[in-house]
Structure 1
Amino acid sequence: MSSLPGRLGTVDPTSDRAVFRQIADQLREAIDRGRFSEGEKLPSEAELVEHYGVSRMTVRNSFSVLQGEGLVHAEHGRGVFVRPRQPVRRLASDRFARRHREQGKSAFLVEADAAGSHPEVDSLEVKEEKAGRDVAVRLGSSVRRVLARRRRYLLDGRPVEFATSYLPIDIARATRIAEPDPGPGGIYARLEELGHRLDRFDEEIRARMPSPAEVRTLRLASGVPVIHLIRTAYDTDGRAVEVCDTVMAADAYVLAYQLPAT
């Protein structure tokens, strides 16, 4: 006798929908409704075979569907578990507020503090290089070379995003911005100290599936997309002083905005 009727239903053999997809649908709904909580182990193959009266291959195909959607992950010899989903709220309308820089906090540190998480930056690279076409267009046609700052961000040891900031050489060369640690408040605080008082940030955001390199860098589970964000920072003279190209694990963030109604 199956022990799962309170959590899972039965399949309809007369349905046009494949049985393995029906099982995946029921497991997905049970996860969404909290019948299986984050980090909890799903019923074993044997339990689902008994409950639904299907083959092991059918159950494995159901698990594959959920893994492809990023809802579960398999641990060899242990079973299949519901993936934890504890996204950071990225408060786009507040994260670059000047008061945070004046307190010596970068935008990522602000988010980490709000989430109660431990932030880290690794894989840091700072170097001068030729401006790519898209970066040159955003920074201005006269910009030929840039200072590039590449880094990966971790929360509680988990990679959640990696970003590259591109700054015009005439602004960044031989300043703290060119050092691995730019100091309290990050590069935006240093830009303002150099006389480039920030006026606005323009952001373009899209969702897409990750490249193989992005999967490796962010250690993404199968089926998890990324958020690709390109931000351009402008000073009060209207000059573009930075372009930041960021790729984020989509399951790690909620993008939150406050928009005026006037």
Structure 2
Amino acid sequence: MPKAYEEIADDRQHGRGTFVRRPRARVVRDNGRHQWEKDRARQPSAVRAATGATEHDTGLVPDDLVFLARYRTVEASKDLAGVFGVPEGTPLLERSYRTRYAAEAAAFGLVTSYLPHAVAAANPDLLDASREPWPGGTHHQLSTVGIEIDRIEERVGARPPTPQETRELELPAGTAVILIRKTSYDTLGRVVDVSDVVLPGDRTELLFTTRLERW
């Protein structure tokens, strides 16, 4: 299990005002996670509830984590309308997620997911943030309205953080953030979920494994 980032106050108690800092919990984001998530969506509820994507990436267990989800309805921006192939202003369900290790104040990452509101509304439970964390995640949520995710495209970039990102992720000075635009397509080729993920560059590792066909 990763060690927490902790401040040890022994020196402070002696008036020296300094701290010993331990490394934060690190995250390894492996692209193999997508097949794992899809397979998990077909498991019984008890199996789905036992672990999630964050546990998969960090090696932590559910009791180690603090999770927050916020939902709201927004109008599709020009960018998102283009990705979904819908008119600008089309209603989308925006879902913001923050998960952190209970021993730390900083989130592992900042995740904002968008679903077509009309698709999510086919199952009213999908509009209810109080049902989060949903066992089986987005794969299972979409399966309840007859949608199977066929492929996932991820575009990765980096940039300096905004002031808000610096605060939420508690980034050391000079640290960049990793940006992932994750686009999920169903078996008919439609975009059914777009997620924008902001990850702290000082404690996130991206791992890509490419299987090659044999001669």
Q: TM-score range by the shorter chain?
A: 0.7 to 0.9
Count of equivalent residues:
188
What's the TM-score once normalised by structure 1's chain length?
Answer: 0.64
1:100 corresponds in structure 2 to 40
What's the TM-score once normalised by structure 2's chain length?
Answer: 0.77
Which residues of structure 2 form unaligned runs of 5+? 9-15
Aligned ranges for residues 187-226 of structure 1 at < 5 Å?
187-226=138-177
Report the residue type matching 2:93 in the other structure: L
1:84 corresponds, among 23, 32, 47, to 23
Say what the alpha-carbon RMSD is for the aligned residues.
2.6
Q: 1:152 aligns to what SS in structure 2?
A: strand
- The yes-or-no answer on 1:126 pairing with 2:77 is no
Higher relative contact order (CA 8 A, sep 6+): 2
- The yes-or-no answer on 1:155 pairing with 2:101 is yes
1:138 corresponds in structure 2 to 83
Which has more radius of gyration?
1
CA contact (8 A) 1:177 1:187 kept: no
| % identity of equivalent residues | 27
Which 4+ stretches in 1 moved above 6 angstroms?
none
2:11 corresponds in structure 1 to none
Q: Distance in 2 between matches of 1:220 and 1:142?
A: 37
CA contact (8 A) 2:169 2:200 kept: yes
Which residues of structure 1 form unaligned runs of 5+? 1-37, 42-75
CA contact (8 A) 1:207 1:228 kept: yes
Instruction: Compute the displacement of 1:85 (Å).
Output: 5.4
Q: Distance in 2 between matches of 1:176 and 1:94?
A: 25
2:135 corresponds in structure 1 to 184
Q: Distance in 2 between matches of 1:154 and 1:135?
A: 27
Q: 1:160 aligns to what SS in structure 2?
A: coil
Q: Distance in 2 between matches of 1:96 and 1:107?
A: 11
Deviates more, 1:139-148 or 1:235-244: 139-148
CA displacement 1:6-55 (0-9 Å, x = unmatched):
xxxxxxxxxxxxxxxxxxxxxxxxxxxxxxxx98x9xxxxxxxxxxxxxx
2:120 corresponds, among 149, 172, 175, to 172
Q: Distance in 1 between matches of 2:35 and 2:98?
A: 19
